[in-house]
Structure formats: C-alpha cells, structure tokens
C-alpha cells in the first residue's frame, strides 16, 4: 500500500475539519462557543496564561467532539440496529465531550466572571 504525501494528509485533515463544521450540529455549537470565548477574551483583555487555558479548553472540546462524531458514524455503519454495546460506546464518547465541555465552562467562569464584575 502506497503512503500518501504530506500534502495529501493535510488536505484530508482540512477536509475533515470542513466537513465537521459544515455538517455536524454539535460542531457548529462548539465552534460558536469557541468564537464567543475568543471574542470575550479579546474584549476583556485576558492574560497570556488565561489565553493558553482558553485555547486548551477549546482545542480539547472541539477535538473530542470530532472524535465523538467519527465514533458515532462508524458505529452507525457497523451496526444499523440498536445494540447495547454500540449504545455504550456512543454514550461514553458523548460523555467525554460533556465532561470536557463542563470543565471548560467552569474554566470560562473562573476567567471571565471576575472581569465582568
């Protein structure tokens, strides 16, 4: 099997990003939250350390949401009908997104609330 070029690899990755943000509802929601956090961070003049925390939170939530979407699609391809193992896999992947999103909200509150008060 021939290895793809680095350019092809990047093209495929960008296609995945493009598809995710255009076609996945949760991708649009998470991207909107990231844009809001970015606008707030810029408007409120967060520190470099706070920017790093915000960027890390955004990256982890978006990356896990992409992985969750990929897991859901592959599970649906493998098993069209209900299966308890597939349900557990999908629920755990969604739980990972929920967990990181909740922690990210807490981090946002810690960063933004003092600046808003």
pLDDT tens per residue across all 117 residues of the chain:
778 899 999 999 999 999 999 999 999 999 999 999 999 999 999 999 999 999 999 999 999 999 999 999 999 999 989 999 999 999 999 999 999 999 999 999 999 999 998
| Residue-range domains of the chain with CATH | 6-116 (1.10.287.3610)
Query: Structure tokens of 45?
Result: 């003049």
Entry pTM: 0.89
Residues 6+ apart with CB under 8 A from 41: 50, 51, 54, 111
Q: What's 4-41 look like in SS3?
A: CCHHHHHHHHHHHHHHHHHHCHHHHHHHHHHHHHHHHH
């Amino acid at each position: 099997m021939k290895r793809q070029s680095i350019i092809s690899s990047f093209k495929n990755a960008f296609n995945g990003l493009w598809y995710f943000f255009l076609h996945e509802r949760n991708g649009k929601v998470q991207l909107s939250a990231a844009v809001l956090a970015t606008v707030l961070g810029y408007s409120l003049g967060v520190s470099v350390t706070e920017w790093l925390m915000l960027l890390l939170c955004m990256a982890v939530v978006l990356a896990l949401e992409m992985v969750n979407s990929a897991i859901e699609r592959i599970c649906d391809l493998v098993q069209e009908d209900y299966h308890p193992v597939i349900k557990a896999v999908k629920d755990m992947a969604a739980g990972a997104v929920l967990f990181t999103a909740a922690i990210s909200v807490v981090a946002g509150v810690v960063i933004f609330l003092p600046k808003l008060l």
